[in-house]
Amino acid sequence: ADEFKKLQDEVPPFPVNEAKKIIEEELKLPVGNILSHFDETPIAAASIAQVHRATLFDGADVVVKIQRPDIGAQIETDINILSYIARLLDKYLPESRFFNPIGIVEEFSRTVRKELNFVEEARSCVKFRKNFENRPEIYFPRIYSEFVTEKVLVMERVDGVRIDNIAAIDKLGIDRKKIAKAGIDAYFKQILEDGFFHADPHPGNILVMPSGVIAFLDFGIVGRVSDELKETMANTFIALIEKDFDRLIDQYVELGIVPEHIDIESFKREFKADIVDILEPLYGLTLQEINFAQYLDTITHLAIKHNLRIPSDLLLINKAM
């Protein structure tokens, strides 16, 4: 996990000359005509792009996101490799089917191809800003649409500390519980109210500003939730809270987790007995007392036993959660 974490914002950067060349090719102007200052050392370099601090001629502090050269071709190669591996997993490891490896790769292919178009990302950020304009505890940066193309994106610079930097948050004297609640509320609003959510919430993309406001960054991967799915998910949460296992199973059927062509009544009977065994002991425990690794293992075995599979439209939501 620590090694993979480096892919969030610590990938070796590409040369600054190439970065400037891409800006000039995309915006059809010399860098000096667009920016009064351009910091040649990137503040973050991730797998698809790197980000440089800069200043516009009106004095606005911005960041410039520049796509890696030839990344599109590399991604297509990776998608082909992943598709091959997913098909092997599905064929030879039946226990992987619950996680729907083929669906995961298809979903990843769709989202990563969209992520290569920064115009889409700019539109998503504008939409989030509008959805949260009455929520002062959450912030989305301003986009400078006149400087946006498929491969270059200029947006307002937001200063803050990564949300996983607990020491820095404590140093700022910010109430952690307040941040946790604001973050959770923001996600419930995105998924269950707006039906439009930030689907890449790793700590490099969520900052805590010195004012205690949470700022979201990087809108390359977003998810959409239909009204029907919002309703079913809300009902699932309520059934879990109220220990209504019959209703919970009905919602699982509704979500499409249960395979078709089975005797639904006998499935409900057997599945309910198993799910009660798993969930009943968890009620009344604090989060610290729950062994999540063990719990996930148990759920996986249960899924294999009943031949369950996570449908594709839930994959991005699961990843975000």
Catalytic residues: 200
Distance CA 106, CA 259 (A): 20
Are the CB atoms for 54 and 19 separated by under 8 Å?
no
Are the CB atoms for 119 and 150 separated by under 8 Å?
yes
Residue identified by tokens 């790769």 is: 105
Which own/partner contact pairs does 247-256 have at CB distance under 8 Å and 24+ positions apart?
Answer: 248/275, 249/275, 252/308, 255/229, 255/311, 255/314, 256/311, 256/313, 256/314
Are the CB atoms for 222 and 198 separated by under 8 Å?
yes
Distance CA 37, CA 62 (A): 10
CA distances from 6 to 2, 9, 38, 71, 191 (A): 7, 6, 25, 18, 28
Positive/negative CA dihedral, 95, 100, 102, 105: negative
Residue of 203, 198, 175 lying closest to 187 (CA atoms): 198
Distance CA 90, CA 108 (A): 17
Which residues have CB under 8 Å from 144's CB, separation 6+?
Answer: 56, 60, 62, 154, 155, 156
Are the CB atoms for 100 and 312 separated by under 8 Å?
yes
Ramachandran area for residue 100 (φ above 0: left; ψ -120 to 50: alpha; else beta): left
Q: How many CB atoms lie within 10 A of CB 18?
A: 14
